[in-house]
């Protein structure tokens, strides 16, 4: 998982985004720490070095201020696959902070990004989306298998002032969304999967079919296995390696 803020890869903790600091090192067992110093492409190389091919990128400038870092996103998309061995090229999840008011120029860019990078998945995050109808707009421009909906919470609280969890569950089922992400930001960078596990179990009841992606608080193989046993298909890790 890679959070981008002001052009740097930052270390997310608890959803307190005004306190995020640049990722400085990447540490794995039995190896010397790699210097990252906020360089997103260097962080991608570090993830590749431990066999992680799929990446989740959250553009916090887009999410918080509706100022998508387009050039940086394009560089990351190119680097993610150019630097990886062919058998390690996984999915690139992109949370661009999409809102109801998307300009035609930005739609053109998103369509081009999806077309040029067929393994990219554009995330529609409920934290940012002002209306459920935005899902229809995204699906009219991006292939269905390149679209994901992220259900966003903070310490169990639904993060949307204008939409409801029920409306998004209905929209995902009605549109046969292929990938759903569940995130409780309070667990990001933490040391417990409690909230993440609870959310996984709850989300799997109304949405048993889509690929389910989640993360937050994963610190061991045992944590990962508990989430997989609860119905997760793919896991997001960051603090396990990057500090």
Is residue 228 in some structural domain?
A: yes
- Closest among 92, 63, 91, 41 to 188, alpha carbons compared: 63
- Supply the mean pLDDT for the chain: 91
Q: CB under 8 Å to 117, separation ≥6 — which residues?
A: 77, 81, 92
Residue 173: the pLDDT is 95
* pLDDT confidence band for 1 (50 / 70 / 90): confident
On the question of pLDDT at 74 being above 70, the answer is: yes
φ/ψ of 66, rounded to 5, equals 55, 40
Residue 171: the pLDDT is 97
* pLDDT confidence band for 15 (50 / 70 / 90): confident
On the question of pLDDT at 237 being above 80, the answer is: yes
Residue 146: the pLDDT is 97
Residue 83: the pLDDT is 64
| Contact (Cβ atoms closer than 8 angstroms) between residue 180 and residue 151 | yes
Q: Which residues pair with 213 in a beta bridge?
A: 181, 234
Q: Tell the residue number behind the tokens 């889509």, with chain if given.
A: 210
Strands 8-11 and 92-95, sheet pairing: unpaired
- Tens digit of each residue's pLDDT (9 = 90 or more) over 141-155: 999 999 999 999 999
Residue 190: the pLDDT is 83
Residue 203: the pLDDT is 95
Is residue 243 in some structural domain?
A: no
On the question of pLDDT at 213 being above 80, the answer is: yes
* pLDDT confidence band for 19 (50 / 70 / 90): confident
On the question of pLDDT at 199 being above 60, the answer is: yes
Three-state DSSP string of the chain:
CEEEECCEEEECCCCCHHHCEECCEECCCCCCCEECCCCHHHHHHHHHHCCCCCEEEEEHHHHHHCCCCHHHHHHHHHHHHHCCCHHHCCCEEEECCCCCCCCHHHHHHHHHHHHHCCCEEEEEECCCCCCCCHHHHHHHHCCHHHEEEEEEEECCEECCCCCCHHHHHHHHHHCCCCEEEEEEHHHCCCCCCHHHHHHHHHHHCCCCCCEEEEECCCCCHHHHHHHHHCCCCEEECCCCCEC
- Tens digit of each residue's pLDDT (9 = 90 or more) over 155-170: 999 999 899 999 999 9
Residue 35: the pLDDT is 94
- Tens digit of each residue's pLDDT (9 = 90 or more) over 103-132: 999 999 999 999 999 999 999 999 999 999
On the question of pLDDT at 101 being above 90, the answer is: no
Residue 17: the pLDDT is 80
HSE value, Cβ hemisphere, 13 Å, CA-based, for 236: 32
Residue 25: the pLDDT is 93
Count of structural domains, the chain: 1
Residue 94 sits in a domain whose CATH number is: 3.20.20.70
Residue 16: the pLDDT is 80
Q: Which of 13-17, 27-31, 83-87, 186-190 has the highest mean pLDDT?
A: 186-190
Residue ranges making up the domain that contains 165:
2-236
Residue 85: the pLDDT is 58
pTM exceeding 0.85: yes
| Contact (Cβ atoms closer than 8 angstroms) between residue 123 and residue 181 | yes
Q: Tokens for 200, please give them.
A: 């996984």
Is residue 52 in some structural domain?
A: yes
């Amino acid at each position: 998982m890679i959070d981008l803020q002001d052009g740097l890869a930052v270390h997310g903790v608890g959803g307190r985004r005004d306190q995020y600091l640049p990722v400085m090192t990447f540490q794995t067992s039995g190896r010397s720490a790699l210097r990252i110093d906020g360089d997103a492409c260097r962080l991608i190389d570090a993830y590749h070095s431990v066999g992680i091919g799929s990446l989740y990128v959250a553009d916090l400038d887009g999410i918080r201020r509706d100022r998508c870092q387009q050039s940086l996103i394009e560089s990351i998309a190119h680097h993610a696959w150019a630097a990886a061995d062919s058998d390690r090229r996984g999915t690139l999840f992109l949370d661009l902070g999409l809102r109801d008011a998307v300009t035609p120029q930005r739609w053109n860019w998103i369509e081009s990004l999806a077309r040029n990078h067929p393994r990219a998945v554009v995330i529609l995050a409920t934290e940012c989306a002002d209306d459920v109808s935005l899902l229809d707009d995204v699906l009219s421009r991006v292939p269905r298998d390149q679209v994901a909906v992220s259900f966003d919470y903070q310490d169990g609280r639904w993060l949307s002032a204008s939409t409801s969890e029920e409306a998004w569950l209905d929209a995902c089922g009605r549109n046969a969304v292929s990938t759903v992400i569940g995130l409780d930001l309070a667990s990001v960078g933490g040391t417990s999967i409690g909230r993440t596990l609870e959310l996984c179990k709850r989300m799997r009841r109304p949405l048993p079919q889509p690929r389910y992606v989640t993360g937050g608080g994963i610190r061991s193989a045992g944590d990962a296995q508990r989430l997989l046993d609860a119905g997760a298909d793919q896991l997001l890790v960051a603090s396990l390696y990057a500090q």
